[in-house]
Amino acid sequence: MNKKFLKLDTIKNNFGMYVKKGDSINCIIYGATKSNELQGKIVLQKNSKLNFYLLLWQCQNLNIKTDFLLLGQNTKAEINILSLGSNQDKHHFDLYLNHQDKNTYSRLNFRRILWQQADSYSQEILKIDKGASGSDAYLSDKTVLIGNNSKVISKPILEILNDKVKASHSAISGRLSEQEIFYLKSRGLDEKRAKSLLLDSFIGEILPADKGIVNLIKQRLNSYAKR
Protein backbone atom coordinates (compact mmCIF):
# COMPACT_ATOMS: atom_id res chain seq x y z
CA MET A 1 0.00 0.00 0.00
CA ASN A 2 1.10 3.44 -0.94
CA LYS A 3 1.20 5.74 2.10
CA LYS A 4 1.03 9.49 2.10
CA PHE A 5 1.29 11.79 5.10
CA LEU A 6 0.56 15.43 4.66
CA LYS A 7 0.58 18.16 7.26
CA LEU A 8 -2.37 20.41 6.81
CA ASP A 9 -0.47 23.68 6.99
CA THR A 10 1.81 22.61 4.16
CA ILE A 11 -1.08 22.35 1.70
CA LYS A 12 -1.85 25.50 -0.17
CA ASN A 13 -5.28 26.01 -1.60
CA ASN A 14 -5.73 23.09 -3.91
CA PHE A 15 -4.90 19.46 -3.80
CA GLY A 16 -5.68 16.67 -6.17
CA MET A 17 -5.11 12.97 -6.17
CA TYR A 18 -5.51 10.25 -8.73
CA VAL A 19 -5.78 6.76 -7.40
CA LYS A 20 -4.80 4.82 -10.47
CA LYS A 21 -6.22 1.54 -11.70
CA GLY A 22 -5.71 -1.20 -9.14
CA ASP A 23 -3.78 1.09 -6.78
CA SER A 24 -4.28 1.26 -3.09
CA ILE A 25 -3.52 4.49 -1.28
CA ASN A 26 -3.51 5.39 2.36
CA CYS A 27 -3.57 9.16 2.74
CA ILE A 28 -3.47 11.04 6.00
CA ILE A 29 -3.84 14.79 6.16
CA TYR A 30 -3.47 16.07 9.67
CA GLY A 31 -2.58 18.90 11.93
CA ALA A 32 -3.37 22.46 12.80
CA THR A 33 -3.68 25.64 10.82
CA LYS A 34 -4.62 29.19 11.55
CA SER A 35 -6.56 29.74 8.42
CA ASN A 36 -6.92 27.59 5.41
CA GLU A 37 -9.15 27.33 2.40
CA LEU A 38 -8.75 24.03 0.70
CA GLN A 39 -10.20 22.65 -2.44
CA GLY A 40 -9.53 19.00 -3.05
CA LYS A 41 -10.40 16.61 -5.78
CA ILE A 42 -9.77 12.92 -5.47
CA VAL A 43 -10.46 10.54 -8.30
CA LEU A 44 -10.56 6.77 -7.99
CA GLN A 45 -10.04 4.72 -11.10
CA LYS A 46 -11.18 1.16 -11.67
CA ASN A 47 -10.39 -1.37 -8.94
CA SER A 48 -8.56 1.18 -6.81
CA LYS A 49 -8.80 1.67 -3.11
CA LEU A 50 -8.43 4.72 -0.93
CA ASN A 51 -8.14 5.09 2.81
CA PHE A 52 -8.40 8.76 3.46
CA TYR A 53 -7.96 10.50 6.79
CA LEU A 54 -8.47 14.12 7.52
CA LEU A 55 -7.56 14.76 11.16
CA LEU A 56 -7.79 18.32 12.32
CA TRP A 57 -7.27 20.31 15.46
CA GLN A 58 -6.54 23.89 16.35
CA CYS A 59 -7.91 25.24 13.12
CA GLN A 60 -9.22 28.73 13.69
CA ASN A 61 -10.71 29.25 10.33
CA LEU A 62 -11.12 26.37 8.02
CA ASN A 63 -12.98 25.99 4.81
CA ILE A 64 -12.60 22.63 3.13
CA LYS A 65 -14.27 21.55 -0.04
CA THR A 66 -13.41 18.11 -1.32
CA ASP A 67 -14.85 15.96 -4.06
CA PHE A 68 -14.40 12.22 -4.06
CA LEU A 69 -15.21 10.73 -7.43
CA LEU A 70 -15.56 6.98 -7.60
CA LEU A 71 -15.05 6.92 -11.31
CA GLY A 72 -14.29 3.32 -12.07
CA GLN A 73 -15.91 0.01 -11.23
CA ASN A 74 -15.09 -1.76 -7.99
CA THR A 75 -13.53 1.25 -6.35
CA LYS A 76 -13.51 1.51 -2.63
CA ALA A 77 -13.18 4.68 -0.59
CA GLU A 78 -13.03 4.82 3.17
CA ILE A 79 -13.02 8.39 4.33
CA ASN A 80 -12.52 9.31 7.95
CA ILE A 81 -12.69 12.85 9.15
CA LEU A 82 -11.99 14.01 12.66
CA SER A 83 -12.33 17.60 13.59
CA LEU A 84 -11.60 18.93 17.06
CA GLY A 85 -12.80 22.47 17.52
CA SER A 86 -12.22 24.85 20.38
CA ASN A 87 -12.20 28.54 21.30
CA GLN A 88 -13.86 30.41 18.47
CA ASP A 89 -12.93 28.01 15.72
CA LYS A 90 -15.08 28.15 12.65
CA HIS A 91 -15.10 25.12 10.39
CA HIS A 92 -16.84 24.69 7.11
CA PHE A 93 -16.87 21.37 5.27
CA ASP A 94 -18.29 20.80 1.87
CA LEU A 95 -17.93 17.17 0.87
CA TYR A 96 -19.12 15.53 -2.29
CA LEU A 97 -18.98 11.81 -2.81
CA ASN A 98 -20.05 10.58 -6.19
CA HIS A 99 -20.50 6.95 -7.21
CA GLN A 100 -20.24 6.94 -10.97
CA ASP A 101 -19.76 3.30 -11.80
CA LYS A 102 -20.86 -0.18 -10.81
CA ASN A 103 -20.02 -1.91 -7.55
CA THR A 104 -18.41 1.09 -5.96
CA TYR A 105 -18.15 1.28 -2.21
CA SER A 106 -17.82 4.20 0.13
CA ARG A 107 -17.82 4.90 3.82
CA LEU A 108 -17.66 8.41 5.13
CA ASN A 109 -17.19 8.66 8.87
CA PHE A 110 -17.22 12.14 10.25
CA ARG A 111 -16.55 12.81 13.93
CA ARG A 112 -16.54 16.19 15.55
CA ILE A 113 -15.89 17.24 19.10
CA LEU A 114 -16.54 20.89 19.81
CA TRP A 115 -15.43 22.79 22.89
CA GLN A 116 -16.16 26.36 23.96
CA GLN A 117 -17.60 28.39 21.09
CA ALA A 118 -16.47 26.20 18.27
CA ASP A 119 -18.85 26.32 15.33
CA SER A 120 -18.89 23.67 12.66
CA TYR A 121 -20.86 23.43 9.45
CA SER A 122 -20.89 20.55 7.04
CA GLN A 123 -22.63 19.51 3.90
CA GLU A 124 -22.02 15.96 2.79
CA ILE A 125 -23.52 14.97 -0.54
CA LEU A 126 -23.67 11.32 -1.40
CA LYS A 127 -24.70 10.89 -4.99
CA ILE A 128 -25.20 7.59 -6.75
CA ASP A 129 -25.46 7.93 -10.50
CA LYS A 130 -27.87 6.06 -12.71
CA GLY A 131 -25.19 3.69 -13.97
CA ALA A 132 -23.79 2.79 -10.56
CA SER A 133 -25.64 -0.47 -9.85
CA GLY A 134 -24.40 -2.48 -6.93
CA SER A 135 -23.02 0.56 -5.15
CA ASP A 136 -22.85 0.60 -1.40
CA ALA A 137 -22.58 3.90 0.41
CA TYR A 138 -22.89 4.91 4.03
CA LEU A 139 -22.30 8.17 5.78
CA SER A 140 -22.06 8.55 9.50
CA ASP A 141 -21.83 12.03 10.96
CA LYS A 142 -21.53 12.34 14.73
CA THR A 143 -20.82 15.39 16.81
CA VAL A 144 -20.21 15.73 20.52
CA LEU A 145 -20.98 19.22 21.73
CA ILE A 146 -19.02 19.96 24.88
CA GLY A 147 -18.75 23.73 24.95
CA ASN A 148 -21.79 25.55 26.26
CA ASN A 149 -21.68 27.76 23.23
CA SER A 150 -20.64 25.22 20.66
CA LYS A 151 -22.79 24.80 17.55
CA VAL A 152 -23.12 22.40 14.69
CA ILE A 153 -24.98 22.25 11.40
CA SER A 154 -25.09 19.06 9.36
CA LYS A 155 -26.56 18.63 5.94
CA PRO A 156 -26.18 15.00 5.02
CA ILE A 157 -27.62 14.63 1.52
CA LEU A 158 -28.53 11.57 -0.50
CA GLU A 159 -29.18 11.71 -4.24
CA ILE A 160 -29.98 8.23 -5.46
CA LEU A 161 -30.65 7.56 -9.14
CA ASN A 162 -30.33 3.81 -9.14
CA ASP A 163 -32.48 1.30 -7.30
CA LYS A 164 -29.94 -1.50 -7.11
CA VAL A 165 -27.85 0.07 -4.39
CA LYS A 166 -27.39 0.32 -0.68
CA ALA A 167 -27.35 3.89 0.53
CA SER A 168 -27.98 5.38 3.91
CA HIS A 169 -26.77 7.97 6.33
CA SER A 170 -27.10 8.84 9.95
CA ALA A 171 -26.31 12.04 11.77
CA ILE A 172 -26.30 12.58 15.49
CA SER A 173 -25.31 15.49 17.67
CA GLY A 174 -25.46 16.24 21.36
CA ARG A 175 -23.70 15.84 24.67
CA LEU A 176 -21.95 12.67 25.72
CA SER A 177 -24.52 10.16 26.89
CA GLU A 178 -25.40 10.63 30.60
CA GLN A 179 -26.32 7.00 30.66
CA GLU A 180 -22.89 5.88 29.52
CA ILE A 181 -21.12 8.25 31.91
CA PHE A 182 -23.19 6.84 34.74
CA TYR A 183 -22.36 3.30 33.67
CA LEU A 184 -18.64 3.99 33.79
CA LYS A 185 -18.98 5.79 37.12
CA SER A 186 -20.77 2.77 38.52
CA ARG A 187 -17.61 0.88 37.63
CA GLY A 188 -15.57 3.19 39.79
CA LEU A 189 -14.32 5.82 37.33
CA ASP A 190 -14.55 9.48 38.18
CA GLU A 191 -16.42 11.84 35.87
CA LYS A 192 -13.33 13.16 34.12
CA ARG A 193 -11.96 9.69 33.45
CA ALA A 194 -15.36 8.44 32.28
CA LYS A 195 -15.76 11.29 29.84
CA SER A 196 -12.29 10.95 28.46
CA LEU A 197 -12.81 7.24 27.96
CA LEU A 198 -16.04 7.94 26.08
CA LEU A 199 -14.37 10.51 23.86
CA ASP A 200 -11.57 8.06 23.11
CA SER A 201 -14.08 5.48 22.02
CA PHE A 202 -16.04 8.09 20.08
CA ILE A 203 -13.12 8.75 17.79
CA GLY A 204 -11.43 5.38 18.15
CA GLU A 205 -13.08 3.69 15.21
CA ILE A 206 -11.98 6.30 12.70
CA LEU A 207 -8.33 6.73 13.61
CA PRO A 208 -5.58 5.37 11.36
CA ALA A 209 -3.28 2.59 12.43
CA ASP A 210 -0.45 4.98 13.02
CA LYS A 211 0.79 5.32 16.56
CA GLY A 212 2.46 8.66 16.10
CA ILE A 213 -0.68 10.33 14.86
CA VAL A 214 -2.97 8.60 17.33
CA ASN A 215 -0.73 9.85 20.13
CA LEU A 216 -0.84 13.39 18.81
CA ILE A 217 -4.61 13.28 18.87
CA LYS A 218 -4.82 11.73 22.33
CA GLN A 219 -2.55 14.45 23.68
CA ARG A 220 -4.77 17.04 22.08
CA LEU A 221 -7.86 15.48 23.68
CA ASN A 222 -6.16 15.43 27.08
CA SER A 223 -5.20 19.04 26.89
CA TYR A 224 -8.77 20.02 26.00
CA ALA A 225 -10.12 17.88 28.80
CA LYS A 226 -8.06 19.83 31.34
CA ARG A 227 -9.76 23.08 30.52
Partner 1 sequence: MSRQEFNKTKYAHNFYDDFKPVYSVPRGLSAKVVDTISSIKTEPTWLKKIRQQALKIFQQKKMPSWGGDLSGLNFDNIQYYIKPTERQASNWQQVPLVIKKAFTKLGVPQAEANFLAGLGAQYESEVVYSNLKEEWQRQGVLFCDLSSAIKLYPELVKKYLGSLVPIADNKFSALNSAVWSGGIFVYVPQNVKVTIPLQAYFRLNAKNMGQFERTLIIAEKGSQVSYVEGCTAPKYAVDSLHAAVVEIFAKPYSRIRYTTIQNWSNNVYNLVTKRALAEEGAVVEWIDGNFGSKLTMKYPAIILKGKGAKGDMLSLAVASKGQHQDAGAKMIHLAHDTSSRIISKSVSVLGGRVSFRGLVKVAKGAKNTKTKSQCDALLLDDKSRADTYPTLQADEPTAQVEHEASVFKIQQDQLFYLQSRGLSEEEATSMIVNGFIEPIARELPMEYALELNRLIKLEMTGSIG
Residues within the interface to partner 1 (CB under 8 A): 114, 130, 133, 143, 145-175
CB of 30 within 8 A of CB of 216?
Answer: yes
* Ramachandran angles phi, psi of 71, nearest 5°: -80, -40
Residue closer to partner 1 by CB (options 82, 145) is 145
CB of 9 to partner 1, least distance (A): 29
Cβ-proximal residues to 166 (8 Å cutoff; 6+ apart), any chain? 135, 136, 137, 138
CA 98, CA 105: separation in Å to the nearest integer?
10
CB atoms closer than 10 angstroms to residue 173? 17
Nearer to partner 1, 24 or 162 (CB): 162
Cβ closest to partner 1, residue 29 vs residue 126: 126
Closest distance to partner 1 from the beta carbon of 74 (Å): 20
State which residue, 43 or 145, has the beta carbon closest to partner 1: 145
Q: Where does the chain have alpha helices with state H? A: 178-185, 191-204, 211-225
End-to-end CA gap in the chain: 39
> Shortest Cβ distance from residue 124 to partner 1 (Å)?
11
Nearest distance, CB of residue 36 and partner 1, angstroms: 24
CB half-sphere exposure, 82, CA atoms < 13 A: 28
Nearer to partner 1, 35 or 161 (CB): 161
CB of 86 to partner 1, least distance (A): 13
